[in-house]
């Protein structure tokens, strides 16, 4: 997956050969660009995030810069603060000393006295970045005489509900001397005091609408507002040395209050420090000494900032004998215990259950990392290794499987402290950064496989939150954005009706888990898939965790009954199947479905199967309400009639029609999503098994083979698929397949060249569809589809910001998306077969 191979044989430890690779500092020649101007596009320089789930995270790019700051829950900052940096000094026999800041993207204004690491190119490769989340590595080549690598990670592994929440990153430098002469090295970690930065200075932002109809609000962080900050040297003899970055806040911490800390220790190294330097200046107060001697001037200055920027730095200097190898650990931590939503609404983060809520525990977190990093490494390896050892899985799949978990940290994630009602806290991941609301239920039907399989207690916490929300109501009217885009600016609807399953669990600027249904692009009270999605996810987590948590079923059952009754009102002709309204009223929310649809109808039938199974289990365990017999009889009747109507009205001899009302001959890629769900959960089939294979064959032929053939006939400037700008490349020009389109005619052509969602390749839908193909014995097709999508993400600059959608002309939409974690559905299917 990389353009150059690293010198693995020279590294004194092993990096998994399936890890994603990119040359350090090398630009992307043909990256995807954003489809719509209002969508986020930070460019392709993204690496694996550091930091625990819900603790806030920091991203470090393949070029070496720290450039992504998701430290305020649900908010996004992409910016480089070059004073936050590793630097390396080297002195060898009969040679002048050299020193580099270990990032290839040199800043334009600050730290001009520093020497920056040279970017890799074909003439002189300088190393590679590798990533297999939660671990990543920098392997440096052809610059220093010593062989240097830096491994970085946070303590994240499956079924871990404590350390996976920690706000900490470990950096393990491995230095090896391959020469016959001693080499002296010094490694410095400098950091800017950021206390107070990560909170919205606009505490009650107005909700606005983009030109695409989606809601947004202004986020105005307090970046560079540093008055009152200070740094203090901290040392524990024989254990750690470093510094704590603090501020003059007092009392109970508010959002933004807290500390950062850096700690390191090596018994054979000499430590040096500087606790107050200017990261916005030319950097001479650090660099002149460090670049000449590998030392700092041991300045200990705790003076409080009057508004100027201040940073700290710590360096370890040591000498390697010929052939010697040493490991030097560093830890970076932050203790920002409060995440605030609307003014007056806040939560303590999950990690505070381990370290307390004072906001003064950054040093304790950092030293925990120094004491335990080797144990954490082992636990991560023990979790990943059985999958890495599988010879039946290709390397590109193993790579994407782990790397797509990045979103659990960088997806604006919330994870609150535990309570009696929520013993592991409440959890939530944004749909994406563009669509900032939590745990969109239709999206997590696919993306939820990651938490389902790896952190099932988090999965249960999300489903409980939806169960609690279903009986609630919020009648406040609001503009529906979809109609706003077509000129109907006064199209209003209530925010949340009682009994309706909400689309999402709210947004970071309101009161998530309480104020649900934040999105206003469509009237989600009218959506035809949400109640089915909820019922299926209740049963899915019950069934996949041993089918023994009867209390969980009993807790969710009243919401199941209420939302099924609510949604049955959309069965307008009494045939047991709900009808779509002709508005975009399901997850493909730019796609008008009319009458009975294959997608929503199949999910409804599947949900009824799930409800019947749950009711019978509760009956057996004497946990069912008194009306259970009537309810089950009703659900069975709806299921029987609906299933018959589905087959009769939608099967056309080759595939299931899009719907009964539009007259469309489009082959919908996800037409049998309901059948996939029932097959996964061991529930009765939505359709008879003899109809599954021909439908999948039709999908593969039209949406994958012929769609990609059709796009290959289009010239590079062809705009048929694109209402906005064209990307830097077209898939057709490069002779590659990009995945399955959501819906095209049987010959692969569009029903309407101006369609949006139909002609996009949705990454998560493709992974879910591939899981269905594999489930039905079509593993070759499953892997072909998946590989096409994976290569688009990881070869064209979409890594660690995987979007919802890509197009045949090199554009994307909605990055940092939740749904692509559906790749774990494919893994689950391949494992269970």
Query: For 273-286, how does the pLDDT look when each residue is reduced to its tens digit (9 = 90+)?
Result: 999 999 999 999 99
In this prediction, residue 1 has a pLDDT band, given cuts at 50, 70 and 90, of: very low
pLDDT above 70: residue 75: yes
**Burial (CB count <10 Å: 0-12, 13-18, 19+), residue 353:** middle
Rounded to whole angstroms, the Cα distance separating 133 from 116 reads 26
Is pLDDT at 3 greater than 50 in this prediction?
no
- pLDDT reading at 489 higher than 80: no
User: What pLDDT is stored for residue 2 in this prediction?
Assistant: 39
Percentage of residues in the chain having pLDDT higher than 70: 96
- List of residues 6+ apart from 121 with CB closer than 8 A: 23, 26
What average pLDDT does range 257-278 have in this prediction?
A: 97
Query: Which pair of tokens denotes residue 366?
Result: 């950092």
569: how many CB neighbours lie within 10 A of its CB? 9
d(CA 773, CA 766): 10
For the segment 652-668, the average pLDDT, to the nearest whole number, is 97
Average pLDDT value for residue range 471-485: 88
Distance CA 643, CA 601 (A): 9
Structure tokens at 668: 């919908």
The answer to whether residue 11 scores a pLDDT higher than 80 is no
Please determine, for residue 719, whether its predicted confidence score (pLDDT) is greater than 80. Answer: no
Residue with more model confidence, 361 or 483: 361
> Model confidence over 381-425: pLDDT tens digits?
999 999 999 999 999 999 999 999 999 999 999 999 999 999 999
User: In angstroms, rounded to a whole number, what is the distance separating the alpha carbons of residues 55 and 751?
Assistant: 46
Question: What's the average model confidence in pLDDT over 587-591?
Answer: 93
d(CA 646, CA 631): 22
The phi, psi pair for 161, rounded to 5°, reads -110, 10
Q: Indicate the SS3 state at residue 335.
A: strand
Cα–Cα distance, 110 to 101 (Å, whole number): 13
Strand partners, 659: 597
Please give the structure tokens belonging to residue 376: 């954490």
Q: What is the pLDDT of residue 13?
A: 62
pLDDT in tens, 141-190: 999 999 999 999 999 999 999 999 999 999 999 999 999 999 999 999 99
Backbone angles phi, psi at 120, to 5 degrees: -75, 140
Pair 671, 699: CB distance under 8 Å: yes
Provide the pLDDT for residue 722: 42
pLDDT of the residue at 720: 41
The dihedral through the CA atoms of 630, 632, 637, 642 has a sign that is: positive
Rounded CA separation 440/506 (Å): 9
- Give 424's contacts (C-beta < 8 A, 6+ positions apart): 161, 350, 418, 457, 458, 461
Asked if residue 629 has pLDDT above 50, the reply is yes
Using omega within 30 degrees of 0 as the cis cutoff, is the peptide bond preceding 134 cis? Answer: yes
For residue 433, give the H/E element and its range. Answer: none
Q: What's the pTM?
A: 0.95
- Summarised one tens digit per residue, pLDDT across range 106-122 is 999 999 999 999 999 99
Evaluated on CA atoms 479, 485, 490, 491, the torsion sign reads negative
Q: What is the tens place of the pLDDT at every residue in 227-255?
A: 999 999 999 988 999 999 999 999 999 99
Reduced to 3 states (helix: H, G, I; strand: E, B; else coil), residue 172 is strand
- Calculate the average pLDDT of the chain: 94
Quick check: 767 and 777 in contact, CB under 8 A? no
Q: Are strands 33-34 and 811-813 parallel, antiparallel or unpaired?
A: parallel
Q: Which range is least confidently modeled, 218-232, 264-278, 376-390, 471-485? A: 471-485
Encoding tokens for residue 160?
């871990």
Q: What is the DSSP letter of 462?
A: H
Which H or E run contains 246? strand 240-247
Structure tokens at 455: 């952190």
Check residue 735 and give its pLDDT.
66
Banded model confidence at residue 728, pLDDT cuts 50, 70, 90: low
In angstroms, rounded to a whole number, what is the distance separating the alpha carbons of residues 434 and 418? 29
CA-nearest of 158, 338, 171, 124 to 266 is: 171
490 vs 608, more confident: 608
Task: Please tell me which residue, 171 or 35, carries the higher pLDDT value.
Answer: 171
Q: Which residues contact 371 (CB under 8 A, 6 or more apart)?
A: none
Lowest mean pLDDT among 25-29, 40-44, 211-215, 425-429: 211-215
d(CA 185, CA 174): 11
pLDDT at 92: 93
For residue 534, CA distances in Å to 444, 537, 700 come to: 10, 5, 28
Give the range among 205-209, 414-418, 511-515, 773-777 with minimum mean pLDDT. 205-209
What are the sequence ranges of the domains in the chain?
Answer: 81-206+226-340+350-382, 688-832
Give CA–CA dist 769/267, Å, rounded.
Answer: 54
State the fold for domain 81-206+226-340+350-382. Beta-galactosidase; Chain A, domain 5 (2.70.98)
- Any idea which residue has 């044989």 for tokens? 9
pLDDT classification of 204: cutoffs 50, 70, 90: confident
């Amino acid at each position: 997956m990389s353009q150059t191979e690293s010198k693995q044989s020279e590294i004194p430890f092993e990096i998994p050969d399936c890890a994603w690779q990119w040359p350090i500092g090398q630009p992307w020649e043909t990256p995807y660009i954003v489809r719509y101007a209002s969508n986020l596009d930070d460019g392709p320089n993204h690496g694996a995030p550091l930091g625990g789930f819900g603790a806030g995270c920091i991203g470090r790019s393949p070029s070496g810069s720290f450039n992504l700051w998701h430290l305020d829950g649900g908010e996004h900052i992409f910016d480089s603060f070059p004073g936050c940096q590793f630097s390396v000094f080297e002195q060898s026999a009969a040679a002048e000393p050299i020193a580099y800041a270990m990032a290839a993207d040199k800043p334009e204004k600050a730290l001009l006295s520093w020497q920056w690491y040279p970017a890799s190119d074909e003439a002189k490769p300088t190393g590679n970045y590798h990533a297999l989340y939660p671990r990543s590595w920098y392997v440096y080549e052809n610059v220093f005489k010593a062989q240097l690598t830096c491994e970085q990670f946070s303590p994240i592994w499956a079924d871990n509900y404590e350390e996976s929440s920690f706000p900490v990153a470990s950096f393990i430098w491995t230095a090896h001397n391959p020469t016959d002469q001693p080499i002296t090295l010094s490694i410095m970690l400098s950091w800017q005091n950021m206390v107070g930065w990560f909170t919205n200075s606009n505490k009650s932002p107005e909700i606005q609408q983009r030109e695409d109809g989606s809601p947004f609000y202004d986020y105005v962080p307090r970046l560079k507002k540093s008055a009152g900050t200070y740094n203090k040297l901290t040392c524990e003899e024989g254990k750690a040395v470093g510094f704590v970055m603090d501020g003059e806040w007092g009392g109970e911490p508010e959002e933004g209050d807290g500390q950062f800390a850096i700690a390191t220790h090596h018994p054979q190294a000499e430590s040096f420090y500087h606790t107050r330097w200017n990261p916005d200046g030319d950097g001479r107060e650090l660099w002149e000494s460090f670049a000449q001697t590998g030392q700092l001037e041991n300045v200990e200055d705790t003076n409080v900032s009057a508004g100027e920027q201040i940073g700290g730095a710590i360096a370890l200097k040591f000498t390697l004998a010929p052939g010697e190898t040493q490991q030097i650990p560093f830890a970076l931590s932050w203790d920002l215990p409060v995440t605030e939503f609307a003014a007056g609404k806040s939560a303590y983060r999950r990690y505070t259950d381990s370290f307390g809520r004072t906001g003064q525990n950054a040093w304790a977190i950092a030293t925990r990392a120094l004491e335990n990093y080797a144990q954490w490494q082992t636990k991560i390896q023990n979790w990943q290794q059985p999958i890495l050892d599988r010879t039946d899985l290709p390397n590109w799949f193993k790579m994407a499987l782990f790397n797509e978990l990045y979103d659990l940290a960088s997806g604006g994630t919330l994870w609150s402290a535990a309570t009696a009602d929520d013993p592991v806290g409440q959890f939530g991941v944004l749909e994406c950064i563009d669509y900032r609301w939590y745990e969109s239920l239709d999206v997590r039907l696919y993306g939820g496989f990651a938490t389902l399989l790896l952190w099932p207690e988090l999965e249960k916490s999300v489903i409980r939150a939806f169960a609690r929300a279903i009986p609630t109501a919020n009648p406040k009217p609001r503009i529906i954005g979809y109609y706003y885009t077509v000129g109907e600016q006064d199209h209003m609807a209530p925010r949340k009706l009682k009994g309706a399953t909400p689309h999402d669990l709210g947004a970071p600027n309101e009161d998530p888990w309480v104020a649900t249904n934040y999105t206003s692009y469509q009237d989600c009270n009218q959506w035809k898939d949400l109640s089915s999605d909820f019922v299926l996810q209740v049963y899915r987590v019950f069934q996949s965790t041993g089918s023994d948590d009867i209390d969980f079923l009993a807790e969710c059952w009243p919401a199941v009954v209420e939302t099924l009754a609510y949604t049955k009102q959309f069965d307008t002709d009494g045939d047991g199947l709900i009808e779509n309204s002709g508005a975009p009223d399901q997850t493909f929310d730019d796609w008008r479905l009319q009458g009975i649809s294959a997608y929503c109808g199949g999910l409804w039938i599947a949900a009824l199967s799930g409800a019947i199974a749950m009711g019978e289990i509760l009956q057996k365990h004497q946990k069912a309400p008194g009306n259970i017999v009537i309810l089950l009889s009703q659900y069975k009747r709806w299921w029987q009639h609906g299933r018959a109507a589905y087959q009769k009205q939608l099967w056309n001899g080759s595939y299931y029609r899009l719907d009964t009302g539009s007259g469309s001959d489009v082959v919908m890629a996800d037409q049998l999503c309901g059948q996939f769900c029932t097959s996964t959960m061991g529930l009765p089939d939505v359709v008879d098994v003899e109809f599954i294979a021909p439908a999948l064959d039709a999908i593969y032929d039209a949406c994958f083979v012929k769609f990609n053939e059709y796009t290959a006939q289009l010239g590079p400037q062809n705009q048929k698929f694109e209402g906005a700008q064209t990307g830097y490349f077209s898939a057709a020009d490069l002779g590659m397949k990009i995945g399955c389109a959501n819906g095209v005619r049987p010959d692969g052509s569009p029903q309407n060249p101006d369609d949006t969602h139909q002609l996009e390749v949705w990454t998560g839908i493709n992974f879910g569809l591939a899981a269905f193909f594999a489930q039905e014995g079509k593993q070759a097709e499953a892997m072909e589809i998946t590989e096409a999508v994976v290569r688009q993400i990881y070869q064209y600059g979409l890594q660690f910001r995987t979007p919802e959608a890509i197009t045949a002309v090199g554009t994307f939409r909605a990055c940092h998306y939740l749904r692509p974690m559906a790749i774990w559905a494919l893994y689950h299917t391949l494992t269970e077969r």
